[in-house]
Each structure stands twice: as C-alpha cells, then as structure tokens.
A and B are shown apart, each in its own frame.
Chain A
Amino acid sequence: MNNRTFYNEVLTEHNLHPAHKHELADANMTCEGLNPSCGDDIWVHLDVDDNGIIQKGAFEGDGCAISQASADMMFDLIIGKTKEEALRLADLFLKMIKEGHLSDEEMEELEEAASLQDIAHMPARVKCAVLGWHTLKEMLTGEADQDNPQPVSTEND
C-alpha cells in the first residue's frame, strides 16, 4: 500500500455507520436510482411538509462505499432545508464532481460532502458518487413522476 488517498476516515465512517440508511415510513416522496453498469441501487425517501421543508429523509439500497457515504453526507446536508435549497446543494455537488472545483464559499456549503471532490479525477467512480444526488435532483425537479415511479438511471449522464 504505497498510495493512501481516497478512502479517508470521513468516508469510511459514513459507509460503515450511515446515520440515514433506514426505512422511512412517513415518506411522501420516494425514488429509486440505478447505476446499471455497477449494479448499485438506491432508494431515496423524503418527508416534505406543506411549506416545502424536508422534515425527514433516508435512503436504502446496495452499493459501494463511495455511493453509500456520498448519500449519507447528502442527507446530513438537506434535512431541515427547503426543496429549493436542497436542489441548489445538489447542483453544487454535481458541479463539483463534473468540473473538479468550486469556490471556497461553495465548498464550505457542501460541508463533509466537499471531501468527495477528488472523485472528479476518478472517472470510473463518478457515477457512484453522484447516484444519491442525481436521484434527489430528479425527484425534486419533478422528472421522476411520483404517481408512476420509474427508477432514474445515471447511464446517460
């Protein structure tokens, strides 16, 4: 092992002990996200109140450490926020992974999730990192139809 890097304590802790990986009985929004090429499969659940505030959120599913930790960090950030704020954070995260950098202020907003910045340089793992965020975004922008649920896929990103 000569090149320790990426699997730092923050990531492994979120993977081994995710705070937000559980069922959510009172969810009023649910969406499945798939990484067909990896076999990763995630369910994102939200309980959003009448004012558009995300009261509760959780995820379930199977996937690698990067996908699981990234989703767990996402829920740390978005619970208690409005749908619009959550969407803005998702866009920031996706921009960070796509472009490889953000301003210092933007990085601060992402809190622990900013630690996943280096995935931008690991093309094989980008889909893992964005799976939860991508699914959240599709849900919040209404592209994932709640009445006719279909899994969203990262395949065409």
Chain B
Amino acid sequence: MGQSTIDVEAVRKEFPVINHTDLAYLDNSATVQKPQCVLDAVTHYYQTENANPFRGLYDLSVAATDAYEDARQKVADFIHAPKKQDIIFTRNASESLNLVAYSMGRYLKIGKGDEILVSIAEHHSNMLPWRMLAQETGATVRYLNCGKDGSLTADDLKAAMTPNTRIVAIAEVSNVLGRVWPIAEFAKICHEQGAIIVVDGAQSVPHTKVDVTAMDCDFFAFSGHKMYAPMGIGVLYGKSEWLNKMPPFMTGGETIDIVTTDRIVWAEVPHRFEAGTVNVGGAVGLAAAIDFMQELGLDQIEARELELTTYAMERLKAIPHVNIIGADEPENHHGIIAFSIDGVHPHDITTILSENHIAVRAGHHCAEPLHHYLGVPSTTRASLTFYNTREEIDRLADTVGQIRKEMGYDE
C-alpha cells in the first residue's frame, strides 16, 4: 500500500462539524461526521423529489421510487452484490442482524440441539439476537475465542465448530480490537460443514474494500452512519437463495402482494423485508456517501488511515502506563485503538480528554463479553478516519501523557 495522496486540508473543509469546532473528533467508530455533499443530497431529495415511494401513480412518487431504487443499485455495486434485490434497507446494522436472526432462524427451524457459534469479540448487535433466538428455541450459543491480540485463524474456527453448528456470527472487523478477520476462508469452512455465516460489516465497510461475492458470506450487515451517510439507514445483504425463502421480519405496508381475510401472499424480495414507509432520504444520503468515498478512493482511504493509526500507536506506546488492547501492529487495527491507563478509570480518562476538546469513547463499546474475556473492566477507545490529522493525534497523546499526574500519581 503506497502513501496516501488525500489532500486532508481540502477534505476537512467538506465537513461542517469539523469546521465549526476545535474538537479533535476521534470517535469515528461510533459514528463519523457527514460531508456537505451528503447533506446536500438529502436536502435536494426533500426539496425536489419527496413523496411516498411505490404507492403513488404521479410523477413525484415515481421520482422518489427511482431515487430509492437507484440507491439500492449503488449499494449493490459498492459491495459487489450480484443484484440490487439482494440489498435490503434497514435502520442500521443492528436491525439488519436482528432481521437475519429472526427470519433465518425461523426458516432454518433452529431448535434444540442446534448450535450457533458467535465470536467472543462481537458487538452486542451480533450477539444478542442470537442469544434471543437460542432462548426462544432451545438452541445453544457457543463462543469462538480469539487470541488476546485479536488473532483468529481458520484452524480456530474449525476447532470450535461441531456437526451441530448451523450458524456462525462474526464481525469482519472488531469494533474494539480493529482486527480484520479472514471471512472468505471462514465462509468456505462454514459451507463445507453445512453452516451459514452472518457477517457484521459495520466497521469494515467504512474503511476497506468489501466484496460479498468473493467473500461468499450468506449475510452481511452494515450501517450508513459509520460511512458518512445519515443516521437511520442501514443495509442487509443476503444471498437470494435465502432471502427468497425467509419469512418477513416486520410486516405491514408494502410487505405483501395479496391480503384477504384468510390468505397472505408476501411481496417479492426485497420489499417483503421493508415494512412501512421507507427512509428514502437516508438511502439517497447513503448513495451520496458512497460516491464521496469512491471519489476519494478506498485504497487512498485505507492508506491514509494506516498512516494515522501507525503514528497514533507509536505516540501512545511511548507513554508509560498506557496499554493498547489487541495486536501490536497498526495493520491489525484499522484506525481503532482501545487502550487503558494503569490506575485510571476510562471514564475519567475520557472526561479529561473531553475537557481538552478531544472526543473519544469509554466503556465496553457494546462488546462487554470481550472485555470480560480480555480481563479488562472497560477501555477508552480512540478511532480514526481519513480526515483526522497528526496534530489531533498529538493532542490526544500529549493529554494522555498528563493524565496520571492529573489524577494524583507521582509518575
């Protein structure tokens, strides 16, 4: 990977929040700031094309329908899905994963004796839906443990799977460790053993190229708001062989072809899974965000983020009493650096950083079992994206270096 050629100063000018505050915004894994072009696309939709899609027989409703379906095609192309009907719009990755657990769980008739294998590092969004499914059906959730550095290999997966494993739920990039896992290899193993693989892509899509066809996953979920689109729009990709057979998750308007008092015929995919009036503005914003990312170039984004991660890890590692969670190598962090400081609670770290106008996250990052597994009560997480600067990282590291002193320690 070569050096990034992104003109950071120019790119920062496109983000209104960054321009109107002196905050070093280092909480990008939680959500990213939105560029003006995305805000403009959403506004333009509401100013010129807004109507309830699918239902109207007038031009404006057709325009809204086209805007929404064009966005669906753009998403399909972006993640290399075979066709746009494989893309279901949801509110966010959490909803996408709940949809799979509910509908696919029913279609597969998951029950007693079946096992669902969930990585220990999963965000609660890709863990709790499976726990609920298991509670309701008598199935068992088992955990796939990674190394303390976040490593997870094909052999680890093979060892954890049993003949009863029917579903494997795993993130492509962990939201705490930042490590990317070899999903294509995992998918092959799952399929050889008759299991499906459900991938949480919330932390990978914003930062690295994704090809769901090459990966051969059964389902892939992500959120728009972590990739420069508005909050409230998310995506579920699914293989059509499953989507066409699954029952709906939520039902209501637009999910049906025929309803009589004694008969229901569900609508075609994807509409079967998009109950009620959909978020056209959000989908339009997501399409604009994809354009924005592609103009910068995914390779460029990745190169820039690796440069920043490398620098941030160098600076933080040089500070006594600072411990970085996960791997030593920046290549295995994807902009996500969770850390602890000996003797200082993460909430205090984060408050002191906040007093110095630096935004990071503290807590379990919705991955409490991973924290128990790693033996850390909670962590502070700085997460970077291409618009961050070395100067912001310096502010982070300089402040982190003072925190123990501020908390009353001699050194």
Contact = CB atoms under 8 A, between A and B. Distances in A.
Are both chains from one complex? yes
A16 B324 CA distance: 23
A7 B347 contact: no
Interface string B332-371: 0000000000001111100110111100000110001000
A125 B399 contact: no
A47 B351 CA distance: 35
A143 B49 CA distance: 56
A7 B377 contact: no
A66 B348 contact: yes
B351 A6 contact: yes
A39 interface: yes
A2 interface: yes
B408 A1 contact: no
Given A6-B355, A39-B363, A13 B408 contact: yes
A124 B352 CA distance: 12
A23 B357 CA distance: 39
Given A38-B363, A65-B407, A5 B355 contact: yes
Nearest to B349: A64
Interface in B21-80: none
B378 A39 contact: yes
Given A1-B356, A7-B407, A124 B351 contact: yes
Interface in B366-409: 368, 377-378, 398-399, 402, 406-409
Given A1-B356, A39-B363, A66 B347 contact: yes
A3 interface: yes
A1 B402 contact: yes
A63 interface: yes
Contacts of B344: 65
Nearest to B378: A39
Contacts of A65: 344-345, 348, 407
A122 interface: yes
A16 B408 contact: yes
A137 B111 CA distance: 46
B351 A62 contact: no
Contacts of B363: 37-39
Interface residues of B, number: 23
Contacts of A15: 407-408
B57 to A, nearest CB: 48
Interface string B112-155: 00000000000000000000000000000000000000000000
Contacts of A12: 406-408
Contacts, number: 58
Interface residues of A, number: 24
A110 to B, nearest CB: 21
Contact of A125 (B347, B364, B408, B409): B347
B355 A39 contact: no
A4 B356 CA distance: 8
B347 A3 contact: no
Contacts of B409: 16
A103 to B, nearest CB: 28
B345 A64 contact: yes
Interface string A1-31: 1111111010011011000000000000000
B345 A1 contact: no
B167 to A, nearest CB: 29
A63 B345 contact: yes
A2 B355 CA distance: 8
7 contacts: A1-B406, A3-B356, A4-B355, A15-B407, A38-B363, A65-B348, A125-B347
Closest 7 CB pairs between A and B? Answer: A12-B408, A64-B345, A64-B347, A65-B348, A1-B402, A3-B355, A64-B348
Interface of A: 1-7, 9, 12-13, 15-16, 37-39, 62-66, 122, 124-125, 128
Given A1-B356, A64-B345, 14 more contacts: A4-B406, A7-B348, A7-B352, A7-B406, A16-B407, A38-B347, A65-B344, A65-B345, A65-B407, A66-B351, A122-B351, A125-B347, A125-B351, A128-B347
